[in-house]
Copies of this chain bind each other. A is one copy, B any other.
Amino acid sequence: MNKLTIDDIARDLGISKTTVSRSISGKGRISRKTRRMVLDYIKEHDYTPNPIARGLAQSKTYNIGWVVPGDSENFSLPYFQLTMFGMCEAAQTENYDVLLIMSYDSDISRLENMLRNRKVDGVVLGRTWENDLNIKKLKESGLPFVVIGGTDEPGVVRIDNDHISACSELTSIILMKGASKLAFICGSSAQVVNQTRRTGFIKGLEKCGKEAKDALFYMDCDTSAQIERATDEAIRSGADCVVCADDYIAHSVLVKLSRDGIEVPKDLKIASFYNSALLEHNRPPVTALQYDPRQLGFEAARTLIAMINGEQVQSEKLLGYEVVLKGSTL
Chain A interface residues toward B at CB < 8 A: 1-2, 46, 48, 50-53, 55-56, 61-63, 66, 68, 70, 73-78, 80-82, 84-85, 88-89, 92, 97-102, 110, 114, 116-119, 141-142, 224, 248, 251-252, 255-256, 258-259, 277-278, 280-283
Contacts and interface: CB of A to CB of B under 8 A. Distances in A.
A277 B73 contact: yes
Given A48-B117, A80-B81, A118-B51, A278 B281 contact: no
10 contacts: A48-B117, A52-B56, A56-B56, A63-B119, A68-B84, A88-B102, A89-B102, A98-B99, A99-B100, A258-B283
Given A1-B142, A100-B88, A281 B251 contact: yes
A99 B92 CA distance: 12
A92 B119 contact: no
B280 A278 contact: no
Contact of A100 (B61, B98, B224): B98
A13 B65 CA distance: 34
A255 B281 contact: yes
Identical subunits present: 2
Give the interface SS of chain A, mostly helix, strand, loop or mixed.
helix
Contacts of A116: 2, 46, 48
Contacts of A97: 99-101, 114, 117, 119
A66 B56 CA distance: 24
Nearest to A283: B259
B76 A2 contact: no
A53 B56 contact: yes
A61 B52 contact: yes
Chain B CB within 10 Å — which of A51, A82, A100, A116 has the most?
A: A100
A142 B2 CA distance: 11
Nearest to A110: B92
Chain B CB within 10 Å — which of A66, A73, A117, A141 has the most?
A: A117
Given A51-B119, A55-B52, A97-B119, A73 B63 contact: no
B70 A75 contact: no
Nearest to A87: B100
Nearest to A81: B76
A283 B98 CA distance: 41
Contacts of A117: 48, 51, 97
A108 B97 CA distance: 16
Given A97-B99, A224-B280, A80 B88 contact: no
A234 to B, nearest CB: 17
